[in-house]
Amino acid sequence: MGNDKMRMTKWKPTGLALAAIVTTAAVAFAVPSAMAQRDPAYAAARAAGQIGEQPDGYLGFATAPTPAIRALVQDLNIKRKAAYTASAQSTGSTVEQFAFTSGCNLIAQTKPGEKYQTPGGAWKTRDAGPPERDARCP
Amino acid sequence: MKTTKTGARRLAIGGRCVAAMTGMWALAGCVQIDTPDKPIEINLNINIRQEVVYRLDGDAKKLIEQNSEIF
């Protein structure tokens, strides 16, 4: 695909950028959420323990964030809120209730080494044992 | 002289009655204002009840699974 275009150095950056956009769009729309992967920057920040799961269903900063990480988390939290809002409407609950229930699950699903926030507000690293969650979590 | 004294006493009693009634009225007014405020505060405190969390749990799991890129 576009081999002759790639040879023309003048068009190379545009071609690459276009290819990247097309690939992203293809991944985003052709494979709708079935086995969608985490953004590598997000996965890295999670694994490094810079960000973690909060009891309210949103991501938070376990350590002072860089501007890039702050932007990444804000973007993900906006997307999460949109998803919670849609689910809350279809289940006849409030966004807060649905987000909280999701938070229970997201903390339960954290992998050892990842960060999560306790009901008291402290950041903890997930170990092999069960995480410290709100008493209302199933 | 005597009649004016009685008249003054009557006036004073009447005034006290009016004051007491106004006081009671004000009190009743206070209670009426307070009652709608209280339940709202309580509702905020127990906004998320356990039974609601249990009911939504299945849907929350589904949402997380179907949107794994943002979770």
More confident call, A131 vs B28:
A131
* Nearest-CB residue to B67 (from A83, A100, A109): A83
Q: Say how far apart CA A131 and CA A133 lie, in whole Å.
A: 6
User: Residue A41: CB partners within 8 Å, gap ≥ 6?
Assistant: A68, A69, A72
User: Residue A83: CB partners within 8 Å, gap ≥ 6?
Assistant: B63, B67, B70
The predicted complex's ipTM stands at: 0.73
The answer to whether the CB atoms of A91 and B61 lie below 8 A apart is no
Residue of chain A minimizing CA distance to B69: A38
Residues A5 and A66 in one domain: no
Residue B40 lies in a domain: yes
CB of A101 less than 8 A from some CB of B: yes
Q: What's the total number of domains in chain B?
A: 1
pLDDT band of B48, cuts 50, 70, 90: confident
Residues A26 and A43 in one domain: no
Q: How many CB pairs under 8 A join A and B?
A: 75
Residues A77 and A105 in one domain: yes
* pLDDT reading at B69 higher than 80: yes
CB of A45 less than 8 A from some CB of B: no
Residues A7 and A52 in one domain: no
pLDDT band of B12, cuts 50, 70, 90: low
The string of DSSP letters for A25-82 reads HHHHHHS-STTPPPPHHHHHHHHTTSEEE-TTSSEEESSPPPHHHHHHHHHHHHHHHH
Residues A97 and A136 in one domain: yes
The answer to whether the CB atoms of A97 and B67 lie below 8 A apart is no
Q: What's the total number of domains in chain A?
A: 2
Q: Which portions of chain A are predicted below pLDDT 50?
A: 1-9, 11, 16, 18, 21-22, 24-34
Residues A28 and A44 in one domain: no
CB of A9 less than 8 A from some CB of B: no
- Which pTM value belongs to this model? 0.63
And the tokens for B4? 């004016």
The answer to whether the CB atoms of A37 and B56 lie below 8 A apart is no
Residues 67-86 of A with CB under 8 A from B: 76, 79-80, 83-84
CB of B61 less than 8 A from some CB of A: yes
Q: Which domain holds residue A111?
A: 39-138
pLDDT at residue A89 in the model: 96
Q: Say how far apart CA A58 and CA A53 lie, in whole Å.
A: 6
CB of B48 less than 8 A from some CB of A: yes
Q: Say how far apart CA A18 and CA B71 lie, in whole Å.
A: 28
Residue of chain B minimizing CA distance to A103: B60
Q: What number is the average pLDDT over the span B45-66?
A: 90
Residues A27 and A58 in one domain: no
